[in-house]
Structure 1
Amino acid sequence: MDIEDKIKEWEERVYKAWIEKRGERKKNFMTLSGISVKPVYTPLDVKGDYLEKLGLPGQYPFTRGIYPNMYRGRIWTIRQYAGFGSAEETNARFRKLLEAGQTGLSIAFDLPTQLGLDPDHELAYTEVGVVGVSMFHWKEMDLVMSGIPLDKVSVSMTINATAMELLSMLITTAENKNADKSILDGTVQNDILKEYIARKNFIYPPSPSMRYAVDIIEYSSKLLPKWHPISISGYHIREAGADAVLEIAFTLADGIEYVRKTLERGINVDDFAPHLSFFFAAYSDIFEEVAKFRAARRMWAKIMKEWFNAKKPESMMLRFHTQTGGAELTAQQPEINIIRTTLQALAAVLGGTQSLHVNSYDEALALPTEKSAKIAIRVQQIIANESGVTNVVDPLGGSYYIEWLTDEIEERAWKIIDQVEKMGGMVKAIENGFPQAQIAESAYKIQKRIEEGDLVKVGINAYYEPDWIGSTEIFRVNPDVREKVILRLKKYKSERDNIKVRDSLDKLRRVAEKENENLFPYMLEAIRSGATIGETSNTLREVWGEYREPAIF
């Protein structure tokens, strides 16, 4: 009897007979993203040639990992996202996280910084230092990095519409420490497309915003050899309500758009592609997440090799940072979020991430406390040192279920990318409202499943305990921070050479009016001269205007 006949016999005589007597919990078992799954998978579910679809770690198509030995060499970068209040407070938190074992910095900026507003702006006042550090002048960056060796610690900055300003501040800080900018290692997010799609912290219209983003890629590829000038981000797409398929489809479609725009500058693909990086979410459906990461790696390798004719293996490698699902956290019974984030972090590691942030259990209530942030680091350290999952490269590779699910996610994602391509690329798709509408529909479906009880959320629609008494400490930003940073802003302005600042902003304006010159050197000159983030952003607003997105129904 061959395997196909054996499976049919099992289904009829064993499985169906069993469930007729004992039943099952559900009529339809699905992944978190709504993909229906069978009770068991076999070799019949695995299609294609092994070497063509999987290969070996460190080799095309990189399904099994981008490095030959993965975590047997060294573990992922433990990069906890942090930042609040003033530069001094953020510096103190970073120092404590590094002492606890964090191996890379990840800076959170407040909303005024993200939207190019100085802290004394009327729209900024109530948000100064609330969800991240206030960063309006290069000397604030210098304070954040006080005592932190820039040549030994990589720095990730979650910033988009003002990414050029923030990277210029970091370069100026390095210069102030008598270090060459070439030592800088890290990432600036700089993914404006996902802002239009999901996060909404944009300033300028799509066309000049793409120019701004690509200017950073071009400058970095030539002058910052260790720097990753963009982190193409699916995380925020997922957090906005997308399922796993939409997350990788729209993220890779964004990546395609950035590569095309950079190639239009006449830059060889192998000169910048090795520096591109990605950022994904990790949710609690472990197997779906692992399959998602593996599918994304394989798809990106194919895109770079077959679509853009990349030659270097490094150009085909999808390097990614992962953050556990913030939207998955619950304010109810917050301590059990430690269990959720542990599962999610495990999924990221089994999926082959290069760096990882684990959300603190109290983040559904407030910014993390020092204690909860340290526990989040310990989650990563226990996975790395006690679980055994780092001993083998791609330990789930070859699982019939994982390989089938990887193929299924990939197939579905290609269909979405094909729709985007037929619209003329991601910018056109965004202008048409396509990704926004798809994410809204996905969010509705997921919420409907939760409300109907099909998708269980412990503590929300199951095992709810209204009398749960927790002792969760809530972190609050010191309200005195606002006045402190505003006073420092006034001091900076009073001490600088205002003529030099004015001249540098005039140069920035003139270059912004052109289309064939890179903005970065002029932005860097303005930041060095003492210009604030509000002044540089206002200069670009005068030329490019502000974007008002159309309503999507």
Structure 2
Amino acid sequence: MPDPEFSELTTRPVLEQRSLFDAEELARLETAQRQWEDTTLKQSVQRIPEREQIETTSGVPVQRLYTPRDLSKQNYMQDIGFPGEYPYTRGVQPTMYRAKPWTMRMFAGFGTAEDTNARFKYLLQQGQTGLSTAFDMATLYGYDTDHPMAAGEFGKCGVAISSLADMEVLFADLPLDKITTSMTINSPASAIWAMYIVNAEKRGYPMAKLGGTLQNDILKEYIAQKEYLFPPEPSLGLVIDTIEFGSRSMPRWNTISISGYHIREAGATAVQELAFTIADGLAYVDAAIERGLKIDEFAPRLSFFFDVHNDFLEEIAKFRAGRRLWARLMREKYGAKDPRSWMMRCHAQTAGVSLSAQQPENNIVRTTIQALAAVLGGTNSLHTNSLDEALALPTEKAALIALRTQQIIAHESGVVNTVDPLAGSYAIEALTDQTEQAAQQYLDRIEQLGGVLACIQNGFFQHEIAESAYRYQQEIDLQQRQIVGVNAYTLDEEVKVPTLYVDYEGQKRHLERLNRVRRERDQAEVRRALSALRRACDEHKNTMPALLDAARAYATLGEMMDVFRAAFGEYLEPAIF
């Protein structure tokens, strides 16, 4: 049932479709603009010619000038509206950052659980307001650290988690009922989440009190990042297990963060990122409904994760267009009644792919521009990349500068003082409309091709992203697109930036803990729990209860994932030419 506080919004009448601008005034403006083009503009261009083919990062042509004529078909209440109300173009909260800033959620994880726990505490002391956990490659692929496939990967791109014992150390002494925790994990997401829940349970925090987000978007792995383990169909089923379990047992938890970030990092345009992410979101909605869930039972806890690239205006428009498009789809296509189901709540991260190893200090400026775009676009939480991430894991100082970037925007820039300050800008509103329309065209095309799973199998997504990535790199190589310090304003100097190195003594300690867990746990209980997990797979039952029991028994991550491997098989991407 919808909350009473939202009932007023659902009963408001639909307003007549009318433009903000008077037709006669628009005609006079057209005449005046033509006169300007024939006189003032013509003289200027003859004296100083314009650059040719000015486009956004996504290759969308940018007009010389935007005026009310570009918004002549726009209806304020139906297309823009007010913050905290449908269609949420201006933000999902009525007051946005006037009440409190976005959640500053710095992504952190390296080496041992002890190392990352210390970094978490440091960032919280420096004013971070939420935790975001990176896992190492072995963990992302569901292997224990001593597995041969994990050799050489310990702690390099995140923290190593092999069992509940590591999770206990990772979140030791942190107030899990007062902070929210994001975990970037995909194929092993449900097992890692089970360890987090059981760790909190052992410390006296009931699962209903836990808040956070599980990335858990497996579809984008087949599309872009490629960290999948099982075939798409059973993998999708595991995601729906978490959505079903969380919707009914953990009301404060976002059981999936539908992620465009990795799609963009793979080379997609802003429009492709938005369209493919929303398409994935709709696939999860369809699968949850097929499972028997009601749309308003789970949709309010869906969340999104977007990249923020260099094209300032385009990125702002992307966030605004995404909220409006998602709201319309949820209300009009799926019949959601609860306004919370219409809201696209999102996390954002500045573009890692935009960082350069050359002149790495320039990355501070890039990150600042991208972070400001995310804030002006209305993000709900934000991670800012560190200046040294093109070279190595961020050092403590680099991570602090990245956090301070957010804090300066929040407390010194003034952009938080009014809600959606760029609304009404002819350029922003026109780009918002254009982005939404282009994304909808992609959604229609994906549906015509058979949906997301079919487009994964036929290579549609991969081909579209590869074409965009090639075009962008070609523009850089031909210097049609300038990257400061890379192909423009270069310096012939050695890069001297302190970098973080993983302490391999930590790996030794981690393995000692893993071996101790295996020696001291109740082996019969482990076997019982893993057998129950296999039965849940075979009988198509929700696997979360069995995973929680396996975590309580200190079954390792690799043991749990081996059950899934045996039940579902492993996936090899088909060759697509």
TM bin, normalised by shorter chain, reads over 0.9
Q: Which moves more between the two structures, 476-485 or 63-72?
A: 476-485
Alignment partner of 1:212 is 2:201? no
Tell whether the 8 Å contact from 2:458 to 2:576 is kept in structure 1 after alignment. no
Unaligned regions of 5+ residues in structure 2, if any? 1-26
Pick from 366, 372, 386: which aligns with 1:346? 372
Q: What residue in structure 1 maps to residue 561 of structure 2?
A: 537
Query: Which of 304, 310, 316 is 2:342 aligned to?
Result: 316
The amino acid that maps onto 1:296 is G
Matched with 1:158 is 184
Q: In the alignment, does 2:290 pair up with 1:277?
A: no
CA–CA separation in structure 2 for the residues paired with 1:207 and 1:77? 34
Quick one: distance in 2 between partners of 1:271 and 1:545?
A: 31
Where does 1:193-208 land on structure 2 (aligned, <5 Å)? 193-208=219-234
Alignment of 1:354-433 (within 5 A): 354-433=380-459
Could you tell me which amino acid in structure 2 is paired with residue 351 of structure 1?
G
Does structure 1 residue 478 correspond to structure 2 residue 503? yes
Would you say the 8 A contact 2:182–2:212 is kept in 1? Answer: yes
Moved more, 419-428 or 104-113: 419-428
Q: Residues of 2 paired with 1:127 and 1:316: CA distance?
A: 41
Establish whether residue 552 from structure 1 lines up as the match of residue 576 from structure 2.
Answer: yes
- Counterpart of 1:36 in structure 2: which amino acid? P
- More off after superposition, 11-20 vs 538-547: 11-20
Task: Tell me which of 137, 144, 160 is aligned to 1:134.
Answer: 160
- 1:107 equivalent to 2:107? Answer no
Match of 1:326? 352
1:117 to 143, 148, 151: 143
**1: CA distance between counterparts of 2:334 and 2:192?**
30
Q: Distance in 2 between matches of 1:416 and 1:455?
A: 26
What code does the residue aligned with 2:84 have?
A: G
1:487 partner letter: E
Alignment of 1:36 with 2:61, yes or no, is: yes
Structure 1 match to 2:263:
237
**SS of residue paired to 2:347:** strand
How far apart are 1:511 and its partner, in Å?
A: 1.2
Q: What is aligned with 1:525?
A: 549
What SS class does the counterpart of residue 361 from structure 2 fall into? helix
Determine which of 431, 454, 465 is the counterpart of 1:439.
465
Match of 2:480 among 434, 454, 457: 454
SS in 2 for 1:117: coil
Per the TM alignment, residue 393 of structure 1 is displaced from its structure 2 partner at its CA by 0.5
The 8 Å contact of residues 257 and 304 in structure 2, kept in 1 or not, is answered as yes
> d(CA) in 2 for partners of 1:318 and 1:64?
11
- Measure how far apart 1:552 and its partner are: 2.8
Aligned partners of 1:155, 1:478: CA distance in 2, in Å? Answer: 25
Q: How far off is 1:482 after superposition? A: 2.1
Match of 1:191 in 2: 217
Structure 2: which amino acid aligns with 1:385? Answer: H
Indicate the larger mover: 137-146 or 70-79: 137-146
Could you say which residue in structure 2 is the equivalent of 1:51? Answer: 77
User: How far off is 1:252 after superposition?
Assistant: 0.1
- The one-letter code matched in structure 2 to 1:157 is M
What SS does structure 1 have at the residue aligned with 2:148? coil
Residues 338-394 of structure 1, C-alpha deviations (whole Å, 9 max, x = no match): 000000000000000000000000000000000000011100000000000000111
Deviation at 1:522, TM superposition (A): 0.6
SS in 2 for 1:278: strand
- Secondary structure at the counterpart of residue 488 of structure 1: helix
Listed one character per residue, the Cα deviations across residues 95-143 of structure 1 (whole Å, up to 9, x for unaligned) are 0010111100000000111111001100102101111100111121111
> How far is the alpha carbon of 1:423 from its aligned partner?
1.9
1:506 aligns with 2:522: no
2:291 aligns to what SS in structure 1? coil
**Contact 2:133–2:184 (8 Å) recurs in 1:** yes
The answer as to 2:86 corresponding to 1:60 is yes
> Once the two structures are superposed, what CA deviation does each residue of 1:286-314 show, in whole Å capped at 9, x if it has no partner?
10000011000000001100111000110
C-alpha distance after superposition, 1:372-423 (max 9, x if no partner): 0001110000000000000011101100001111111111111111111112
Q: Per the alignment, in what secondary structure is the counterpart of residue 132 of structure 1?
A: coil
Q: Is the 8 A contact 1:125 1:482 kept in 2?
A: no
Instruction: In structure 2, give the amino acid aligned to 1:58.
Output: G
Instruction: Give the Cα separation in 1 of the matches to 2:221 and 2:352.
Output: 17
Q: How far is the alpha carbon of 1:479 from its aligned partner?
A: 1.8
Measure how far apart 1:6 and its partner are: 0.3
TM-score normalized by structure 2? 0.94
Kindly provide the amino acid, as one letter, of the partner of residue 320 in structure 1.
Answer: C
Establish whether residue 171 from structure 1 lines up as the match of residue 197 from structure 2.
yes
Q: In the alignment, what sits opposite 2:292?
A: 266
Provide the secondary structure at the position in 2 that maps to 1:246: helix
SS in 2 for 1:270: helix
Measure the CA separation in 2 of the matches of 1:382 and 1:536: 44
In 2: Cα distance, 1:403 partner to 1:11 partner? 23
Query: 2:321: which partner in 1?
Result: 295
User: Which residue of 493, 500, 504 corresponds with 2:518?
Assistant: 493
> How far, CA to CA, are the matches of 1:418 and 1:509 in structure 2?
39
Letter in 1 for 2:503: N
RMSD between superposed Cα atoms in Å:
0.9
Inter-partner Cα distance in structure 1 for 2:205 and 2:133: 21
Shift of 1:72: 0.4
Residues 224 and 462, structure 2, Cα contact 8 Å, conserved in 1 = yes
Residue 424 of structure 1 and its aligned partner are, at CA, apart by 2.0
Cα distance, 1:323 vs structure 2: 0.2
Deviation at 1:466, TM superposition (A): 1.4
Q: Distance in 2 between matches of 1:45 and 1:448?
A: 32
The secondary structure found in structure 2 opposite 1:464 is: coil
| Distance in 2, Cα, partners of 1:22 & 1:348 | 34
Shift of 1:147: 1.0
Secondary structure (helix, strand or coil) at the match of 2:181 reads strand
Distance 1:32 1:337 in 2: 18
Partner secondary structure for residue 253 of structure 1? helix
Matched to 1:41, the amino acid is Y
d(CA) in 2 for partners of 1:369, 1:291: 33
Q: TM-score, normalised by structure 1?
A: 0.98
Kept after mapping to 2: 8 A contact 1:141/1:173: yes
Counterpart-to-counterpart distance in 2, 1:14 and 1:308: 51
Per the TM alignment, residue 470 of structure 1 is displaced from its structure 2 partner at its CA by: 4.8
Letter of the 1:472 partner, please give it.
Answer: V
Unmatched runs of 5 consecutive residues or more in structure 1: none
Letter in 2 for 1:160: N
Determine the C-alpha separation between the residues in 2 that align with 1:471 and 1:122: 35
Cα pair 2:67 2:426 within 8 Å, conserved = yes
Alignment correspondent of 1:247: 273
